Structure 1
Amino acid sequence: RSLLHFLLCFVLGFLIGFTPFSMENFSTNLASKPQGFAVELKSIPTNAEQDFSQVGNRGRTIETIEMERTKSMGLEVQQEKEAEVLDVPGKKIDPFVGLSPVKILDFVPRKLLIVVTPTYNRAFQAFYLNRLAHTLKLVPPPLLWIVVEMPAQTMETAELLRKTGVMYRHLVCEKNVTDIKDRGTHQRNTALAHIEQHQLDGIVYFADDDNVYTLELFEQLRKIRRFGTWPVGMLQHNKSNAILEGPVCNGSQVIGWHTNENSKRLCRFHVNNSGFAFNSTILWDPQKWGRPTSELIRQSDTDKDGLQDTKFIEQLVADEREMEGLAHGCSKAMVWHLHLEASMITYPSRWTVENNLEAIVPLKKHK
């Protein structure tokens, strides 16, 4: 019997020796802290207070993140509900109501206006160019001002253009002045070649520098699809009467022409040079407009006086059905040609006076 007791004690001691002490510590902790909590079964580090504070901070951080996620998800769900368009008969619901701060921009790009101006050195050149520049500066962009001189650029014109604040291109027509009949025709052809070469897409308008233009004209130009026309007001050379020349329209449809000059009654189209504008793609994209040939569209100085404009227009359109009458049924004159040119007056070189003017009325000397 003593041997049996010895064996039992030996086995119990052997089993107790293999029992882990962590379980004893864990049971002791459970006994000392009976409150319930959920933790993973891991060994507790030595610095327990510091680690538990870190765990608490991490818990609060996780809780904050979860709350933010919940709020953001709720906001997205709310926005999705507000953005839904319900198929309710007779009732339209704006899908953008309640969405903040989203601003819907209704932007329609404007057509490019390509304004072609031939100019030359004369008494009123600076006055004319400055007046036209101030008008163009008030036109909403985009606008390109093509100014053509011949036979070379002048420093005065280049300096004036730089100060206008208008986007411009300063071109030169290199034709010999003595070999041409109409200077302006070749200058416009230089601009047309430039537009065709660079395939500028916009509305081309020949704006001579000595005309007077309203801002409404440039608003109307952007309505042109292919070819637009309107009446032009003019003073007769004796400056005693004002006359109108241009189309007669029924709405935007051209149904006839009005002219006061007998020499132009045989013209196909009774249009002044500043009384029409056209889409630039006619010059470099003939297939778009169904043109049968791809010949260059240019003005000619070999035509008789008064026929240059109508011959040029015949290259752009076949008849009045391809034209658009502007200016409220062609009822308003948006351009005026006043014949104010002073061709016999000479202007000093570089637009400056070299010597001081003579004082006709001297200042009185104060005693």
Structure 2
Amino acid sequence: MKPTNAAGRRSFRGGGDGSIPATESGFVFAKLSPAAAFFLLVHGACCAASLAIGFRISRFLFLLLIASPNPSLRRESGGDFVLKSSNPAPIADSGHRGGEISSRSRVVVGRHGILIRPWPHPDPEQVLAAYRILARVQDEQRFRYGVRNPRRVIAVTPTHVRTFQALHLSGVMHSLMATPYEVTWIVVEAGGAATEETAALLRRSNLDVVHVPFPEAMPSEWPERHRAESRMRIHGLRIIRERKLDGIVVFMDESNVHGAEMFDEIQAVKWAGAMSMGILVHAGCTGPTCPTDAEIREGAPAMPIQGPLCDAAGNLDGLHGFDPRPYAAAAAVYVGEQGVVLPQAMEWAGFVLNSRLLWRDPGTPDWVKDFAKLTKNMVNPLDLFHRLSSLEPLGDCGSKVLLWWLRAEARPDSRFPPGWKIDAPLEVTVPAKPTPWLKPAHRRQEPGKGKPTRGLSHLEEENSKYGKYPKINKKYLHVLQRAGNTN
């Protein structure tokens, strides 16, 4: 009986199953051909080396020593083995940095070489096509694993023209622009009119913006400002109710910092939800009236957080608010003064609503108050609900902080260019050309060495020759004299 093909490829004589015959003295090896014996020795040496270095090298050495060198494996002058394809694909040169693209590659995977292209890619159309493919893959992943039917995000932001408006409003604008959902941004501006300065900032977003004025002016005291901002938010809710905008209402104050995960979490809200918000109150207090760290640890809670608390079953157990009592002595009263800016008892930014609650549809739950009967002087957002047990906790039952509350403002009388556009020429404080007194010919020499010492009046004389440079300030003359002595 002849051995099978699988056994015939082996170098041992035996049965059809490829086994080695056994005798009384043990296993007996048949005579091996020289090629088979050489292969067996090389394979054994490779196995021993593999055990020593932890890398399998038998196939690689077989490729180098026994395989035919026909197609492409050859050794370069540097000692590296390079695989060269017999039919390399032509690549058009588009003036890239790498110059001419070689068809050779020093990266070897199996029997095939990998062509390494220089960056940037020589064909910009292929780059754009790759970006479209990545965007399509992300959309498909978002559809499969994200929100199936995303709702529109309706952001309500109170604002007014001031020094920090461009800073804060730009931060909210970029957060909304990066949101992968449809956005309607309702901006309520205090002062009685919608200014062009604010409108110019909003036009940069290319979002669906509703810019409406508010008849009242923004107060300069923090308690009154909190009440005015609450009235402005209620004014924005009335616009949502009148236009019947459908989506999730989120209160995005200007100076707050919003995480990208917040926009994903609010999509799960059915009617009304609460999320955890970090309270940053130490940023504005650096004077002696501010509480010390020991006083804060004794009186203040461990975590300055406003957000929901859940029981073991995952149901809402209550809300955790910020305790302002340890900071009451150092609280700032007027905008811009030194002290701690304290939040309200409950900030609106920590709650989200389904806009259908404002329409009062037949399917609206009874634990929500009728918005038409609410007064404009409502300050606490909890006044919107008859009971709080139906609020939906967001962010793993409040364990994730999704946004941060912060108030940083300049003094009301601070000066800034309108729209932060510089029209008038500014004064040169650092000249672009080297100053005359730093030239080697005008350096001050030490007494008794080289040229005689020249007085400080010489600097003013040299400086007067250059009309572009300002005159030397008298208080800096001793600094220049000291610098001249060292040089």
Structure 2 residue 305 is the aligned partner of structure 1 residue 244: yes
8 Å contact 2:179–2:260 — kept in the other structure? yes
Structure 1 residue 363, shift from structure 2 partner: 2.2
- Counterpart residue number, 1:156: 197
- Counterpart residue number, 1:357: 426
Structure 2 residue 372 is the aligned partner of structure 1 residue 296: yes
Q: Structure 1, unaligned stretches of length 5 or more?
A: 1-104
| Residues 235, 176 of structure 1: alpha-carbon distance in 2 compared, 3 angstrom cutoff | closer
Q: Structure 2, unaligned stretches of length 5 or more?
A: 1-142, 287-292, 297-302, 327-343, 440-487
Alpha-carbon distance in 2 for matches of 1:233, 1:217: 13
More helix by share: 1
SS of the aligned residue for 1:287 comes to: coil
Paired residues, what number?
251
Residue pairs, 1:234-313, within 5 angstroms: 234-237=279-282, 238=285, 243-250=304-311, 252-261=314-323, 271-291=346-366, 294=370, 296=372, 298=374, 300-301=376-377, 308-309=379-380, 312-313=381-382
Identity percentage over the alignment? 29
Structure 1 residue 133, shift from structure 2 partner: 1.0
Alpha-carbon distance in 2 for matches of 1:159, 1:260: 36
8 Å contact 1:254–1:325 — kept in the other structure? yes
What's the CA shift string for 1:309-329, capped at 9, x where partnerless?
A: 2xx3232x3223211000112
| Residues 112, 280 of structure 1: alpha-carbon distance in 2 compared, 3 angstrom cutoff | same
Taking structure 1 as the reference length, what is the TM-score of the superposition?
A: 0.61
| Residues 262, 186 of structure 1: alpha-carbon distance in 2 compared, 3 angstrom cutoff | closer
| Residues 211, 252 of structure 1: alpha-carbon distance in 2 compared, 3 angstrom cutoff | farther
Alpha-carbon distance in 2 for matches of 1:338, 1:294: 31
- Counterpart residue number, 1:187: 232
| Residues 209, 297 of structure 1: alpha-carbon distance in 2 compared, 3 angstrom cutoff | farther
Structure 1 residue 295, shift from structure 2 partner: 5.1
- Counterpart residue number, 1:16: none
Structure 2 residue 212 is the aligned partner of structure 1 residue 171: yes
Higher relative contact order (CA 8 A, sep 6+): 1
8 Å contact 1:122–1:343 — kept in the other structure? no
8 Å contact 1:246–1:272 — kept in the other structure? no
Alpha-carbon distance in 2 for matches of 1:299, 1:334: 30
- Among candidates 184, 200, 207, match of residue 252 of structure 2: 207
Amino acid in structure 2 at the alignment position of 1:194: I
Taking structure 2 as the reference length, what is the TM-score of the superposition?
A: 0.47
Structure 2 residue 419 is the aligned partner of structure 1 residue 343: no
8 Å contact 1:216–1:334 — kept in the other structure? yes
Alpha-carbon distance in 2 for matches of 1:234, 1:341: 16
Residue pairs, 1:47-126, within 5 angstroms: 108-126=148-166
Alpha-carbon distance in 2 for matches of 1:263, 1:286: 41
- RMSD between superposed Cα atoms in Å: 3.1
8 Å contact 1:230–1:333 — kept in the other structure? yes
Amino acid in structure 1 at the alignment position of 2:309: V
- Counterpart residue number, 1:326: 394
Structure 1 residue 119, shift from structure 2 partner: 0.6
- Bigger radius of gyration among the two: 1
Alpha-carbon distance in 2 for matches of 1:270, 1:229: 15
- Counterpart residue number, 2:277: 232
What's the CA shift string for 1:133-186, capped at 9, x where partnerless?
A: 1111111122111111121111121112111122221111234668x8733123
Amino acid in structure 1 at the alignment position of 2:406: L
SS of the aligned residue for 2:408 comes to: coil
Alpha-carbon distance in 1 for matches of 2:160, 2:208: 20
| Residues 257, 189 of structure 1: alpha-carbon distance in 2 compared, 3 angstrom cutoff | closer
Alpha-carbon distance in 1 for matches of 2:420, 2:317: 47
